[in-house]
């Protein structure tokens, strides 16, 4: 048998094995993701009440209602504000922590574990802690600021500071992003730094000339993932402000996913909620497409060397 034919056969066998390995995921994806998406698209064109099971055709009613409902635009604005603030901050903080951890030699495992712990903490527990930390009068954050002579804001009540307070809570879970950066940093060849040092490049120059380009793939990945997550933010806003009707919830804390949840499960407006979900999907598609198009110009792919 010619070598080329043997190789092709081998490749086909390998491909079949690969597909078999991912079959459970494909089935899960088709049933629980694609199936649910198609279903949600269908009900977005209907007036559907999940609790009663009643469904009647709605045409474009729900999509028209998206334009008419001021809370859709308001919640999108709040979400966009959060994304614009949270994504860059999370990227910078995660990168900073990853660089610090990458330099640690003794006790590296201990520090990595400690820094990753917040990611393992349940969101409810984190929210409970942040309710105390962010108290405008007695919270630890404002006490610290007061000690430095700064009068801190009323984080959880003042509408102007509600969204930044949710960003702060989101930053608590930065370690997931940090781990990806750390892995990328570990893959940067040391000899590049040695050569740069011989050429007289200082740490800052090395960072911008070597580190950042070499980990640009990880940065790119994290920016896309965090942007998508930011537009879907729910836990933090819901736990801090919307978990029950006795909570004081400034309008600036009404994020898109929270409003979607309210429409679906408090007002039983599943058709409208589905239309909201598809609007978000389209927004994310456009944003991610733009990020990919722009990002590809700056990302260094090892395979393309």
Partner 1 sequence: MRGRRSITLTAGLVLALGVGTFTAACESGDAGGGATANFGADAAGTLTAWAFDNADDVGKARLGYAAKALPGVTLTMDQTGFDAQKFTARLASGEVPDVVQMDREYVGTYAAQGLILPLDSCFTANQVDPAQRWYANVLDDVRYKDQLWAVPQFYQPPAILLNTTVMRAAGVTPADIDTSKPDVLLAAIAKMYKASGGVPTTLGFNPQAVGQTYLWFVAQGGKLVGDKGVPTLDDPSNVRPLELLKRIVDAQGGFARYKSFTDAFDVFGDQNQFVRGQVGAEVDAQWYANVLAPYKDKAELSAVPFRGSDGKPVAVAYGGSFVIPAKAKNPAAACKWALRLTEDGAWNAAAEARAATRAKDKSVNTGLFTGSPGPDRAIREKFVKSSGNAGFDQVVNTFYDVVATGRSAGLSPAGQQLKQELTTAITTTLLGQKTPQKALQDAQTAAMAAYTSIAGG
- Return residues touching partner 1 (CB under 8 A): 32-34, 36-37, 39-40, 43, 48-55, 69, 71, 131, 135-139, 154, 156-159, 224-225, 228-229, 232, 245-251, 257, 260-262, 264-270, 273-274, 276-277, 280-281, 284-285, 288-289, 292-293, 296
Distances (CA, A) of 82 to 15, 28, 161, 252: 42, 31, 11, 10
Nearer to partner 1, 19 or 289 (CB): 289
Q: How far is CA 228 from the centre of its chain?
A: 5
Closest distance between partner 1 and the C-beta of residue 171, in Å? Answer: 20
Closest distance between partner 1 and the C-beta of residue 53, in Å? Answer: 4
Place of tokens 């393992």: 120
Nearer to partner 1, 24 or 202 (CB): 24
CA distance 140 to 148: 13
Place of tokens 């930390």: 133
Closest distance between partner 1 and the C-beta of residue 277, in Å? Answer: 3
Closest distance between partner 1 and the C-beta of residue 31, in Å? Answer: 9
Place of tokens 């690969």: 18
Q: Residues 6 or more apart from 135 whose CB is under 8 A from it?
A: 142, 155, 156
**Cβ–Cβ contacts within 10 Å for residue 155, how many?**
23
Closest distance between partner 1 and the C-beta of residue 40, in Å? Answer: 5
Nearer to partner 1, 14 or 251 (CB): 251
Nearer to partner 1, 209 or 225 (CB): 225
Nearer to partner 1, 115 or 256 (CB): 256
CA distance 217 to 187: 12
């Amino acid at each position: 048998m010619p070598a080329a034919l043997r190789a092709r056969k081998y490749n086909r066998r390998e491909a079949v094995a690969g597909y078999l390995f991912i079959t459970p995921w494909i089935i899960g994806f088709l049933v629980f993701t694609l199936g649910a998406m198609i279903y949600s698209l269908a009900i977005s064109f209907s007036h559907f009440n999940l609790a009663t099971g009643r469904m009647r055709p709605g045409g474009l009613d729900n999509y028209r209602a998206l334009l008419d409902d001021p809370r859709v635009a308001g919640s999108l604005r709040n979400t966009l504000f959060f994304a614009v603030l949270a994504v860059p901050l999370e990227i910078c903080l995660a990168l900073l922590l990853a660089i610090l951890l990458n330099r640690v030699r003794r006790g590296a495992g201990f520090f990595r574990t400690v820094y990753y712990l917040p990611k393992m903490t349940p969101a409810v527990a984190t929210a409970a802690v942040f309710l105390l930390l962010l108290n405008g009068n007695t919270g630890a954050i404002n006490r610290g600021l007061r000690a430095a002579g700064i009068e801190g804001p009323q984080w959880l009540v003042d509408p102007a500071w509600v969204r930044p307070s949710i960003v702060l809570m989101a930053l608590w879970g930065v370690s997931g992003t940090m781990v990806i950066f750390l892995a990328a940093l570990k893959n940067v060849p040391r000899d590049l730094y040695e050569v740069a040092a011989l050429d007289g490049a200082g740490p800052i120059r090395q960072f911008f000339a070597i580190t950042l380009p070499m980990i640009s793939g990880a940065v790119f990945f994290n920016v896309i993932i965090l942007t998508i997550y930011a537009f879907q933010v729910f836990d933090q806003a819901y736990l801090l402000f919307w978990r029950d009707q006795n909570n004081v919830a400034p309008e600036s804390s009404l994020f898109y996913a929270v409003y979607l949840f309210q429409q679906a499960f408090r007002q039983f407006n599943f058709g409208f909620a589905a239309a909201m979900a598809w609007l978000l999907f389209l927004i994310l598609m456009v944003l991610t497409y733009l990020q990919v198009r722009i990002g590809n110009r700056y990302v260094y792919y090892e395979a393309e060397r």
